Structure 1
Amino acid sequence: MKTTRLKAVLLTFASFFIVFALTACGSTDSSSRTGTGGKETSPATSASAAPTHLNVALFWLGTNLDPAVEWNGWTLTRAAIGETLVQFDENMQLVPKIAESWEQVDDTTWKFQIRDGVTFHNGNKVTADAVKKSIERALELNERGLSTLPIESMKAEGQDLTIQTTEPYASLLGNIAEPLFVIVDTSADTSRFESQPVATGPFMVTSYTPDQEIQVKKYDGYWDGAPETDTITFKYIKDDSTRALALQSGEIDVASNVGRSSLSLFEDKGQYAIDEIPSLRTQFVWFNTTHKLLANVNVRRAISYGIDREMYAGTLIGGQAAKGPFTSALPFGYDKLKGYDYEPEQAKQLLDEAGFKDTDGDGIREKDGQKLTLQMILNSAYESDATVAAAMQSQLKEIGVNLELASYEDLTDHQRSGNYDLALTSINTGITGDPQYILDFYFKTGAEWNVGGYSNPKLDEIIDRLHSEFDVEKRYELAAEAQQIILDDAAYMFITYTPINIISKNTVQGATMYPIDFYLLDRNIKVEQQ
């Protein structure tokens, strides 16, 4: 595990965050994994060589391939189809992509220099005006657009794009790297983007079957040099165990997020390569705070004390026991937080104080004739969630809480409708390298994904202050204060920080796991001919 290394690079990013925003950035390092920048044809793609093909398993596939809709941009960046102005590399450093440099002119003004020589998959040149129209389209079509980028205006002149925000917005650089803002050619037929987006990545879509697969081929006009792999099939295999079996059988060559119970199948280094790192993903439970039983903070706190996170992480699924929403690899105040240890006696005392007693001796507490029975929904495809849910069910019964489990292929509709008591899932809490994005979208009153109905005016005020605070250390102090409020209110229950992995056959080169898991492959992925 690379916890120390990841934390070190993230701490480097902390100081880098503001300094880099204020100065122009150079071009991509030719020695980095983002490519050599050359356009020469490699021996593997010469006329005499047989075409090379790769089969890759995706653990998630969006509703379609239009990056401006829902979370579909994540599919495009994972499949190396689409790119944003800037992105995070494997060390959580912001690096240039479509923008070769940028500067912060003042608190509300940012200027991006669009890289010369970049073309869309249809051959059209990527200009500042094309980027402007692509971002405008995302802002118009996606409800989280303006919350992610509060843009007042944009001005395009040649290859210069100037963005004016509605307020000082310290996290703009990280937010604009979110795949919602994958750059597409809006002069193309955008009605076809659901199945064939026109983007800028090293691979371009040749066919798409919803809920099944994406076929891509290399884009010879890619600005950083054409890939050596000719074609790739991305297969949607949502179940962890099924992905592992597909890799073992040879059906696929590369798979990410293979369940830990299956990792032993791939220990032979002569056949497979495993890259596993601490992720920025937090496994946690939403409490529906509008539920009659869960509206009582002592009930939520009791449940939080009633589970053994250390055992889950150390014995069941790996990773690290969670304290707050952000993993300890992120420098957002983790060490300052007071979370919930496994204290079943404290849990019982809180339930006693809340008036829940086991009066009929069946082991389940009740109050006013209502049993303390709650239902938790979870995703049926995720091995780690199922394992933790079963353990939680057993431990909560010991404190008098009856936890019923319900598995679904997709939790979205249940969560958005409020049709749940508790919901177990995981999110990548470090996707912008900064705390503001997650706090805005999951914890603020009325936020898009605050589906538990949680509200605390003091927390809202702290989150608002983050928007205009450019001092890194002060941002982290605010983030720590915000997290402690969330913990004190027991609005959510944070379980583990889960490790992530990518496993490839030994014939594959360039498969490296990113901490931010909306990246998977790039132009350097290649497979040896056999």
Structure 2
Amino acid sequence: MKKKLIALCLASATLATCLAGCGAPASTGDTSGAAVDDSTLIIAIPDEVEGCDIQQIGWENVVQSLIYEPLVEYNEDMTELLPAFAEDYEVSEDGLTITFTLPADAKFSNGDTLDAAAVKASVERFMEVSEYSTDLEAVESVEAVDETTLVYHLSAPAPYMWASLASTYGGIVDVAAAEEMGDEAFNRTPVGNGRYYVENWEQGSQITLKRNENYVSNNPEVSNTTAFETVIVRFIPDEFTRVSELQHGNVDIIYNVPSASIGELEADENVTTYRYLQTGVNYMNLQTEKGPTADPAVRQAMTYAIDRDEINLALENVVTPAYTFLSPAQTGYSKAKEDEFAQTYAYNPEKAAQILADAGYVDTDGDGIVEKDGQPLTVTMMVASDRPSMSAAAPVIQQQMKAVGIDLQISEYEAAYVKQATKDDDYEISTRNYEWSDADILYSVFTSASGYPWNDDTVTADLEYARTVNDPEARVEAYEKFSDDMAQLYKGIPLFSDNYCIAAKSSIQGLVVTNDGRSWYHDVTRAQ
């Protein structure tokens, strides 16, 4: 699968131990013991980076987003593509040519020339070495017309490509420096075009970043303050230790606030919280070829047996109910279709029970579980134990199923095991999730491109068509058709999108957290 699934699993895992140095003195907040002043911003994240070269790694976080700047980026609510490193861009009417206008006299963080030829080299290296090179599979060639004009030539319209171009993975790498340093060294101290560069990486502890004096963004929604000369990113796996470090003043900003701490931090006048939504959906993936769920009536009844509001209440409002397979944080999302499905597939246990009865499922022995041909309707659901929201929701779903006569058994495994069992077709129900800012993630989940055995010709045709539609409104309509066709199969049951949280000292001002969780540090300052 692509980064969309990999990154989510890593971001949501809760680790049990705290790295050495978590209890740094309150006067510094720096695990190295060096003095820290107001020109230093300290961030705490759960996972140490696997590397800093965006083209050599499989997942990214705030570290890489500070080192690299894409050509373009989405605005806060994902409704518009804005210039970022590029000053402007233009797409031809047929969607086959994309022309970027780059700033004159731009430089990498080390002073190397950053012109169209340098960007061309970076794109070509991405297409050669990145495990996500298929994101640019439609690119036939990249042309540096002159120093400030770069042209992508495509074999077919590829609107799905913008999600990568506008992400950290679309940041510009200094290929000349990479070739001179070698891949291993460059992965530790890369040369990029973002607002900071790597000064030092203390493995198991922290990364120190220094301000890139050559950096300028062309995003019209920011003013490029970049007030902090130094950013220290500490690796603190234990989620409650991160919260404690924020409350004790040892860090300025923390990522992946545990759901149990969100209410506490929101009530703290010394803390500002930033909520954002999962760019995807957690869902129940139903077996359609064998076992109890091979009966469409069982899958349909399960759909009506789910009370998403009760799940949300049980999870203390840390999720947002979902009735379609896209969240509001993704391009291609349709609020109209979500509202329609919220009515059409609303919680209706009476209807679920009737569907089962009409299909011949009857509780003959009075134990509350329906049977057919002498067999009780028992189904096993594999749940990812390292996906906290899904693990917490599973017992609620179990009781909802029991209320309509379905005996739902829960088996918990690590997400990697659940994913592999699904690929091996060794499941009845598996809980799955995905995360990527563009609706094209559905192509990587519900077609043969996923590596899963299930495939439907109509759904595949819908998703193949949708990924070629350039007009945003027409693209939404294409994904609405997918939703309609998918719903008729009762293949999966969308449940919810996770509500994530970042927290900062109230003295930290100007931080922008977008609808899909990107952090804009352009104008972050510390109030005196």
TM over 0.5: yes
Work out whether residues 282 and 432 of structure 2, in 8 Å CA contact, stay in contact via their aligned partners in 1.
yes
Q: Which residue of 1 aligns with 2:255?
A: 256
Which is further off, 504-513 or 113-122?
113-122
Q: Which runs of 5+ in 2 are unaligned?
A: 1-35, 218-223
Report the secondary structure of 1:406's partner residue: strand
How far apart are 1:270 and its partner, in Å? Answer: 3.4
**Corresponding residue of 2:275:** 276
Give the structure 2 partner of residue 138 of structure 1: 126
- Which residue identity lines up with residue 67 of structure 2 in the other structure? I
> In the alignment, which of 19, 33, 43 is matched to residue 56 of structure 1?
43
Show CA shifts across 1:34-64 (max 9, x none): xxxxxxxxxxxxxxx9463333233556643
Aligned residue number for residue 110 of structure 1: 98
Q: Distance in 2 between matches of 1:294 and 1:136?
A: 46
Which stretches in structure 1 are left out of the alignment for 5+ residues? 1-48
Kept after mapping to 2: 8 A contact 1:377/1:411: no
Question: Cα deviations across residues 334-367 of structure 1 (Å, max 9, x unaligned)?
Answer: 4234353222333344455666666776655667
Closer/same/farther in 2, CA of residues 300 and 82 from structure 1, 3 Å limit: farther
Alpha-carbon separation, structure 2, partners of 1:99 and 1:402? 53
- Taking the aligned partners of 2:250 and 2:363, their CA distance within structure 1 comes to 53
Partner of 2:68: 82
Cα deviation for residue 111 of structure 1 reads: 0.9
> What's 1:377 paired with?
383
- CA gap 1:307/1:250 in 2 versus in 1, 3 angstroms: farther
Q: Distance in 1 between matches of 2:167 and 2:193?
A: 15
Q: Return the TM-score normalized by structure 1.
A: 0.77
Write the distance in 1 (CA, Å) between the matches of 2:385 and 2:97.
42
Distance 1:482 1:401, change over 3 A: same
Please state if 1:201 is matched with 2:189: no
C-alpha displacement of 1:277: 4.8
Give, in angstroms, the shift of residue 480 of structure 1: 0.4
> Which residue of the partner structure matches residue 309 of structure 1?
308
Equivalent in the alignment of 2:183 = 190
Counterpart of 1:14 in structure 2 is none
1:446 paired to 2:448: yes
- C-alpha root-mean-square deviation of aligned residues, in Å? 3.4
Give the secondary-structure state (helix, strand or coil) at the position aligned to 2:513: coil
Q: Report what 2:109 is aligned to.
A: 121
Q: Tell me how far apart the structure 2 counterparts of residues 244 and 528 of structure 1 sit (CA, whole Å).
A: 21
Residue 70 of structure 2 aligns to a residue whose secondary structure is: coil
Map of 2:234 onto structure 1: 235
1:223 aligns to what?
216
Label 1:304 to 1:162 Cα distance change in 2 as closer, same or farther (>3 A): same
Correspondence for 1:480 = 480
Match of 1:374, SS?
Answer: strand
| Residue number among 389, 395, 402 corresponding to 2:408 in the alignment | 402
What are the Cα deviations for residues 66-103 of structure 1, in whole angstroms up to 9, with x where unaligned? Answer: 3234642455554x121211111324332212211111
Q: 1:523 to 1:416 in 2, by over 3 A?
A: farther
Secondary structure at the counterpart of residue 103 of structure 1:
strand
Residue 347 (structure 2) aligns with: 342
1:390 aligns with 2:391: no
Distance apart, 1:240 and its partner CA: 5.0
Please tell me the residue identity of whatever aligns with 2:521: D
Shift of residue 408 of structure 1?
A: 2.8
| CA deviation after TM superposition for structure 1 residue 388, in Å | 1.7
| Cα displacement string for residues 115-135 of structure 1 (whole angstroms, at most 9, x for unaligned residues) | 234322332122222222222
Q: CA deviation at 1:243?
A: 3.8
| Residue of structure 2 equivalent to 1:67 | 54
State the alpha-carbon separation in 2 of the partners of residues 421 and 74 from structure 1. 34
* C-alpha distance in structure 2 between counterparts of 1:507 and 1:266, whole Å: 14
Instruction: Give SS of 1:99's match.
Output: coil
Deviations 1:167-220 (A, max 9, x none): 123444444213332221122233334433322111222344667643322223
Cα distance in 2 for partners of 1:367, 1:219 equals 68
Residue in structure 2 matched with residue 502 of structure 1 by the alignment:
502
Q: For 1:355-374, what aligned pairs fall within 5 Å after superposition?
A: 372-374=378-380
Would the aligned equivalents of 2:271 and 2:505 in 1 still touch at CA under 8 Å?
yes
Deviation at 1:488, TM superposition (A): 2.1
Aligned to 1:516: 516
Deviation at 1:504, TM superposition (A): 0.8
CA contact (8 A) 1:118 1:200 kept: no
SS at match of 1:56: strand
What's the CA shift for 1:509? 1.9
Paired with 1:207 and 1:289, the residues of 2 have a C-alpha distance of 52
Q: Which moved more, 1:485-494 or 1:308-317?
A: 308-317
Q: Percent identity?
A: 24
Corresponding letter in the other structure for 1:155: E
**d(CA) in 1 for partners of 2:59, 2:287:** 27
Distance (Å, rounded) in 2 between the aligned partners of 1:524 and 1:279? 24
> Partners in 1 of 2:203 and 2:110 — Cα distance?
23
**Pairwise CA distance, 1:296:** 4.0
One-letter amino acid of the structure 2 residue matched with residue 341 of structure 1: A
Q: Which has the larger displacement, 395-404 or 273-282?
A: 273-282
Letter in 1 for 2:189: Q
Question: How far, CA to CA, are the matches of 2:263 and 2:49 in structure 1?
Answer: 30
Residue matched to 1:266: 265
- Relative to structure 1, is the Cα distance of residues 375 and 464 closer, same or farther in structure 2, using a 3 angstrom cutoff? closer
How has the CA–CA distance of structure 1 residues 480 and 409 changed in structure 2, closer, same or farther, with 3 Å as cutoff?
A: closer
Q: Which sits farther off after the overlay, 273-282 or 84-93?
A: 273-282
Matched pairs, number: 471
CA distance in 2: counterparts of 1:103 and 1:516, whole angstroms: 25
Matched residue type, 2:197: M
8 Å contact from structure 1 (residues 68, 180) kept in 2: yes
**Which amino acid in the other structure matches residue 204 of structure 1?**
Y
Q: Indicate how the Cα distance of structure 1 residues 117 and 66 shifts in structure 2: closer, same or farther if over 3 A, else same.
A: same
Moved more, 289-298 or 87-96: 289-298
- Residue 119 of structure 1 aligns to a residue whose secondary structure is coil
Return the offset for 1:313.
2.9
